[in-house]
Amino acid sequence: MASSLPASLFLLSVVFCQFLSAAAQNYVTITATVGENVILPCKDPDQERIVAAEWSRTDLESGSVLLYRNLQFDPINQLPSYRNRVDLLVGQIQKGDASLVLQNTTTDDSGTYECHVVKTTEMKRISSVSLVVADPPEEHSPQWLTLSGWLW
Protein backbone atom coordinates (compact mmCIF):
# COMPACT_ATOMS: atom_id res chain seq x y z
CA MET A 1 0.00 0.00 0.00
CA ALA A 2 2.85 2.38 0.76
CA SER A 3 4.04 2.23 -2.85
CA SER A 4 0.64 3.18 -4.23
CA LEU A 5 0.82 6.75 -2.85
CA PRO A 6 3.93 7.76 -4.85
CA ALA A 7 2.50 6.09 -7.96
CA SER A 8 -0.77 7.95 -7.50
CA LEU A 9 1.03 11.27 -7.00
CA PHE A 10 3.13 10.64 -10.10
CA LEU A 11 0.04 9.84 -12.18
CA LEU A 12 -1.74 12.93 -10.85
CA SER A 13 1.24 15.14 -11.74
CA VAL A 14 1.37 13.72 -15.28
CA VAL A 15 -2.36 14.40 -15.80
CA PHE A 16 -1.99 17.92 -14.38
CA CYS A 17 0.96 18.68 -16.71
CA GLN A 18 -1.03 17.43 -19.71
CA PHE A 19 -3.95 19.64 -18.64
CA LEU A 20 -1.68 22.70 -18.40
CA SER A 21 -0.13 21.92 -21.78
CA ALA A 22 -3.56 21.57 -23.42
CA ALA A 23 -4.78 24.80 -21.82
CA ALA A 24 -1.70 26.67 -23.04
CA GLN A 25 -2.31 25.47 -26.61
CA ASN A 26 -5.83 26.91 -26.52
CA TYR A 27 -4.73 30.46 -25.67
CA VAL A 28 -2.60 32.40 -28.13
CA THR A 29 -1.44 36.01 -28.35
CA ILE A 30 -1.04 37.50 -31.83
CA THR A 31 0.49 40.88 -32.57
CA ALA A 32 -0.32 42.77 -35.77
CA THR A 33 0.19 46.19 -37.30
CA VAL A 34 -2.68 48.37 -38.51
CA GLY A 35 -3.72 47.34 -42.02
CA GLU A 36 -2.37 43.79 -41.84
CA ASN A 37 -4.39 40.61 -42.39
CA VAL A 38 -4.17 38.04 -39.58
CA ILE A 39 -5.33 34.49 -38.98
CA LEU A 40 -6.72 33.69 -35.53
CA PRO A 41 -6.34 29.92 -35.03
CA CYS A 42 -9.19 27.60 -34.10
CA LYS A 43 -8.43 23.96 -34.84
CA ASP A 44 -10.34 21.06 -33.36
CA PRO A 45 -7.78 18.58 -32.04
CA ASP A 46 -10.01 15.72 -33.24
CA GLN A 47 -10.06 17.22 -36.77
CA GLU A 48 -13.75 16.41 -37.10
CA ARG A 49 -16.13 18.22 -39.42
CA ILE A 50 -17.48 21.39 -37.81
CA VAL A 51 -21.23 21.98 -38.21
CA ALA A 52 -21.25 25.54 -36.81
CA ALA A 53 -18.65 28.03 -35.62
CA GLU A 54 -18.95 31.32 -33.79
CA TRP A 55 -16.21 33.85 -33.20
CA SER A 56 -16.90 36.48 -30.53
CA ARG A 57 -15.07 39.15 -28.55
CA THR A 58 -15.07 38.80 -24.77
CA ASP A 59 -15.13 42.58 -24.25
CA LEU A 60 -18.18 43.20 -26.45
CA GLU A 61 -21.61 42.47 -25.01
CA SER A 62 -23.66 41.50 -28.03
CA GLY A 63 -23.14 40.39 -31.59
CA SER A 64 -20.59 38.11 -33.13
CA VAL A 65 -17.45 38.65 -35.12
CA LEU A 66 -18.45 35.77 -37.40
CA LEU A 67 -21.17 33.11 -37.28
CA TYR A 68 -21.08 30.12 -39.63
CA ARG A 69 -23.92 27.58 -39.69
CA ASN A 70 -25.99 25.66 -42.23
CA LEU A 71 -23.03 25.77 -44.63
CA GLN A 72 -23.09 29.57 -44.82
CA PHE A 73 -22.28 32.76 -42.96
CA ASP A 74 -25.03 34.31 -40.86
CA PRO A 75 -24.64 38.13 -40.96
CA ILE A 76 -27.78 38.98 -38.96
CA ASN A 77 -26.10 39.36 -35.55
CA GLN A 78 -22.64 40.22 -36.88
CA LEU A 79 -20.98 43.30 -35.46
CA PRO A 80 -20.96 45.99 -38.20
CA SER A 81 -17.24 46.72 -37.82
CA TYR A 82 -16.43 43.17 -38.97
CA ARG A 83 -18.67 43.02 -42.04
CA ASN A 84 -16.74 42.26 -45.22
CA ARG A 85 -13.49 41.91 -43.21
CA VAL A 86 -13.72 38.37 -41.81
CA ASP A 87 -13.70 34.93 -43.38
CA LEU A 88 -12.80 31.33 -42.65
CA LEU A 89 -9.98 29.45 -44.34
CA VAL A 90 -11.39 28.04 -47.57
CA GLY A 91 -12.33 24.37 -47.34
CA GLN A 92 -10.84 23.84 -43.88
CA ILE A 93 -14.11 23.78 -41.88
CA GLN A 94 -14.68 20.20 -43.10
CA LYS A 95 -11.32 19.25 -41.57
CA GLY A 96 -12.03 20.76 -38.15
CA ASP A 97 -10.37 24.12 -38.76
CA ALA A 98 -12.47 27.22 -38.07
CA SER A 99 -9.56 29.69 -38.02
CA LEU A 100 -10.66 33.27 -38.59
CA VAL A 101 -9.14 35.48 -41.28
CA LEU A 102 -9.36 39.14 -40.21
CA GLN A 103 -8.49 41.62 -42.94
CA ASN A 104 -7.27 45.19 -42.70
CA THR A 105 -6.79 45.26 -38.91
CA THR A 106 -7.38 48.41 -36.89
CA THR A 107 -6.46 49.28 -33.31
CA ASP A 108 -10.16 48.79 -32.46
CA ASP A 109 -9.72 45.09 -33.32
CA SER A 110 -7.47 44.58 -30.27
CA GLY A 111 -9.10 42.28 -27.73
CA THR A 112 -9.69 38.68 -26.77
CA TYR A 113 -11.50 36.53 -29.32
CA GLU A 114 -13.12 33.18 -28.58
CA CYS A 115 -13.94 30.45 -31.04
CA HIS A 116 -16.84 28.11 -30.22
CA VAL A 117 -17.73 25.21 -32.50
CA VAL A 118 -20.47 22.63 -32.83
CA LYS A 119 -19.40 19.25 -34.15
CA THR A 120 -22.57 17.26 -33.56
CA THR A 121 -24.96 18.77 -31.04
CA GLU A 122 -22.51 20.01 -28.42
CA MET A 123 -20.95 23.47 -28.54
CA LYS A 124 -17.50 23.88 -27.04
CA ARG A 125 -14.80 26.53 -26.94
CA ILE A 126 -11.79 25.47 -28.95
CA SER A 127 -9.55 28.48 -28.58
CA SER A 128 -9.11 31.92 -27.10
CA VAL A 129 -6.92 34.42 -28.96
CA SER A 130 -5.65 37.75 -27.73
CA LEU A 131 -5.07 40.12 -30.64
CA VAL A 132 -2.97 43.24 -30.19
CA VAL A 133 -3.02 45.67 -33.11
CA ALA A 134 -0.58 48.56 -33.00
CA ASP A 135 -0.03 51.57 -35.20
CA PRO A 136 2.86 51.12 -37.64
CA PRO A 137 6.17 52.56 -36.47
CA GLU A 138 6.76 56.14 -37.45
CA GLU A 139 9.03 56.67 -40.42
CA HIS A 140 11.83 59.06 -39.65
CA SER A 141 13.21 61.37 -42.27
CA PRO A 142 16.90 60.71 -42.97
CA GLN A 143 19.37 62.55 -40.84
CA TRP A 144 21.36 64.71 -43.19
CA LEU A 145 24.87 65.66 -42.36
CA THR A 146 24.96 69.37 -41.66
CA LEU A 147 28.12 71.37 -41.91
CA SER A 148 28.05 74.53 -39.90
CA GLY A 149 29.65 77.55 -41.42
CA TRP A 150 29.09 76.48 -45.02
CA LEU A 151 26.69 78.41 -47.16
CA TRP A 152 25.16 76.64 -50.08
Task: Provide DSSP, 44-66.
Answer: -TT-PPPSEEEEEETT-SS-BSE
Residue 115 and residue 133: Cα distance in Å, rounded? 19
Fold designation for 34-131:
Immunoglobulin-like (2.60.40)
Give residue 21's region: left, alpha or beta (phi > 0; psi -120 to 50).
alpha
Query: Looking at residue 61, what is its pLDDT?
Result: 81
Tens-place pLDDT, residues 28-85 = 899 999 999 999 999 988 777 788 999 999 998 888 999 999 888 999 989 999 999 9
Q: Where are the domains of the chain?
A: 34-131
Tens-place pLDDT, residues 129-146 = 889 888 888 765 555 444
pTM over 0.75: no
